[in-house]
Amino acid sequence: MSEPEDVVGRIRETLKEEGREAAIEAVEAALKDYPEDGLLWLEAADLHLPPRSRGRPIDPDLSQCANAVRCLRSAVSFNPDLEEAWALGGLILVDHLGMMEDALEWWGEYRVLKPESPAPMIEQVAILARYGEYAAASRIMDLIENLDQDTLTKSQKRRTEDVGRSLKDALGLRQKDVFRPQDPNHPRWEKIERYRNQKPVSQTYFLFFMIAPLVFVLGFIASAALSPYGAKGQVATFLVILTAFFTMTRISEPLFRWMNRNATDLDRALDIEMASGKVCIPENIREGRLHKSMLKYRPPAWIERHNRIVAEGQRVQRRWTTVFTSH
């Protein structure tokens, strides 16, 4: 009997020569011979998803996501060292299915296997912050900060810094100011309802109409003041404009978040609906332009699952909270 690595190679040849359906049949047949081989299960998960493309990626539908997650669960159970399987499973659960509770459990299992790895903790912090569970997120963030920072990749450091800034701002809020969308009487619902037909401000719009005019004025003043210095003055003017742009972009982040507070809160409400499998958004808000714009860039599997949740119409409990406990 061939080794699993050779089988994977033949499956990939089948994919190239005969297509995806034939490759899926081949990997399913191989799994009967090697039911405990993690690499084969990972290959099966990849085949159940749309093919990778160089252009715009093709998003999987709900059925494809479900099959892929099923295969990935088997992959990590038989081979816990498959980091690619862990990462892909977390991505599908959160971004494509909105199953944040399952994702917290998924990354919790990875933490048990590799307690010193920052990857699962970073993912859990990001999910808890989306819920508004800032205290629990902060406790895990403390664990990340106590790790050897040299073990973090550049992207992990950047993401940790971004989430850390958000947590720092959020922890300064009073508890009653933290939006709890599962509470139908929360005061934020009234403000969201008032602006339900106002679309969120895009980053491009904010930079073009808020930051650019101020930078232009500063550049004009700098150009007038430094013009007697010739070429050196032009270089200095350019540096002034560049510095002003990046500085003002950074310090204006709180303003940008404030302008999009309604969109951010509604996004959290959508997360709670997807995590709990029950609805919390009032119908008049659901019919507004703000809600529709928040769904515009969601992947098809997410939309399909959300439509089912809305169609069932079960109301989330007012005191619903995540079953996850940080440790």
Which pTM does this prediction carry? Answer: 0.85
Domain check: are 194 and 218 in the same one? Answer: no
- 215 domain residue, yes or no: yes
CA 38 to chain centre: 26
Q: Above pLDDT 90, what percent of the chain?
A: 48
Domain check: are 129 and 151 in the same one? Answer: yes
Cα three-residue angle 130-132-133, rounded to 5 degrees: 110
> 222, 242, 257: which is the final residue of a domain?
257
- 327 domain residue, yes or no: no
Token pair 């969308």 is at which residue? 181
Residue 126 pLDDT: 92
H/E stretch holding 214 reads helix 212-226
Whole domain around residue 124: which residue ranges? 111-176
pLDDT band at 283 (very low <50, low <70, confident <90, very high): very high
Tell me how far apart the alpha carbons of residues 36 and 41 are, in angstroms, rounded to a whole number: 8
Report the pLDDT averaged over residues 83-101. 96
Report the pLDDT averaged over residues 20-49. 89
Report the pLDDT averaged over residues 96-118. 94
Domain check: are 189 and 288 in the same one? Answer: yes
> 220, 235, 257: which is the final residue of a domain?
257
> 97, 127, 158: which is the final residue of a domain?
97
First and final C-alpha spacing in the chain: 45
- 318 domain residue, yes or no: no
The β-bridge partners of 279 are 315
- 323 domain residue, yes or no: no
Q: Number of structural domains, the chain?
A: 4
